[in-house]
């Protein structure tokens, strides 16, 4: 795959992915069980819809909460009495224990790493399969699927690691609605908050490859 250097979007996506790919193997004061519970709550309670799956934030919907969230008491106070666009989360909807677990999750997300050091970017393996060490999934064992690494670097932050959706709509099963050429057209002429990724950082070939990957998402 060609290098798409110089794109701020790609750098932001890489940062998100770096956070995504390394958190399960971090050692941290909070227990892995709490962190995992916090990740699940962050999804279930809809925080991810505005703050991004990895707390990376989005200009359109909400600020970044990770990797350095506000202190736990401040987070508790904030969700009970938010200042702006954010909805109120009462204790019936979100207990203090829930907030604490979400805080553990957000605090467990590490700062970014160079994208090239992340094995997942090179083989398109889903995060959902659990902790992954870079040695167990090297690029020599798993030759990259065409388009998978382009997807991971440019699309996954909004459409989800496995196309499950997030800021952008789910792409799983998209072949029932779109053909590859339609997906290419959506990338070339995006609507809504989806950014222009063509002709830079993605080349025409990259667009074909990533569309071919997206259409295969099941």
In this complex, which beta carbon is closest to ligand HEC, that of residue 28 or of residue 198? Answer: 198
Nearest distance in Å: CB 67, ligand HEC: 13
Nearest distance in Å: CB 135, ligand HEC: 29
> In the Cβ-directed half-sphere of 166, how many Cα atoms lie within 13 Å?
22
Contact 98, 125 (CB under 8 A): no
Nearest distance in Å: CB 23, ligand HEC: 17
Nearest distance in Å: CB 38, ligand HEC: 9
In this complex, which beta carbon is closest to ligand HEC, that of residue 135 or of residue 208? Answer: 208
Burial 132-169 (b: 16+ CB within 10 A, else e): beeeeeeeeeeeeebbbbbbbbbbbbbbbbbbbbbbbe
Nearest to 2 by CA among 146, 198, 203, 155: 203
Determine whether 83 is exposed, middle or buried from the number of CB atoms within 10 Å of its CB (0-12, 13-18, 19+).
exposed
How far apart (Å, rounded) are the C-alpha atoms in residues 199 and 99?
A: 42
Nearest distance in Å: CB 74, ligand HEC: 7
In this complex, which beta carbon is closest to ligand HEC, that of residue 43 or of residue 134? Answer: 43
In this complex, which beta carbon is closest to ligand HEC, that of residue 11 or of residue 86? Answer: 86
What residues have CB less than 8 Å from 76, skipping those under 6 apart? 96, 99, 100
In this complex, which beta carbon is closest to ligand HEC, that of residue 100 or of residue 113? Answer: 100
For residue 108, the surrounding DSSP H or E stretch is helix 96-108
Local structure of residue 201 (DSSP, 8 states)? T
In this complex, which beta carbon is closest to ligand HEC, that of residue 59 or of residue 135? Answer: 59
> Whose CB is nearest to ligand HEC?
84
Nearest distance in Å: CB 50, ligand HEC: 3
Contact 18, 115 (CB under 8 A): yes
Q: Which residues bind ligand HEC (CB under 6 A)?
A: 45-47, 49-51, 61-63, 65, 70, 75, 78-79, 82-87, 89, 94, 102, 154-155, 157-159, 167-169, 171, 183, 186-187, 191-195, 197, 210, 214
């Amino acid at each position: 795959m060609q290098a798409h250097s110089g794109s701020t979007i790609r750098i932001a996506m890489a940062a998100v992915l770096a956070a995504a790919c390394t958190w399960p193997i971090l050692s941290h004061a909070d227990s892995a069980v709490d962190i995992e519970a916090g990740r699940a709550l962050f999804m279930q309670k809809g925080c991810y819809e505005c703050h991004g799956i990895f707390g990376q934030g989005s200009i359109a919907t909400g600020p970044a909460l990770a990797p350095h969230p506000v202190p736990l008491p401040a987070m508790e106070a904030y969700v009970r009495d938010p200042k702006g666009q954010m909805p109120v989360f009462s204790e019936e909807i979100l207990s203090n224990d829930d907030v604490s677990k979400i805080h553990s999750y957000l605090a467990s997300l590490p700062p970014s790493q160079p994208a090239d050091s992340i094995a997942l970017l090179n083989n398109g393996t889903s995060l959902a399969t659990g902790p992954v060490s870079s040695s167990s999934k090297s690029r020599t064992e798993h030759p990259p699927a065409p388009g998978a690494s382009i997807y991971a670097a440019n699309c996954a932050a909004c459409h989800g690691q496995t196309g499950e959706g997030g800021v952008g709509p789910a792409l799983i099963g998209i072949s029932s609605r779109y053909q590859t050429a339609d997906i290419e057209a959506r990338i070339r002429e995006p609507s809504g908050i989806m950014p222009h990724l063509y002709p830079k950082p993605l080349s025409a070939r990259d667009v074909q490859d990533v569309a071919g990957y997206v259409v295969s998402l099941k």
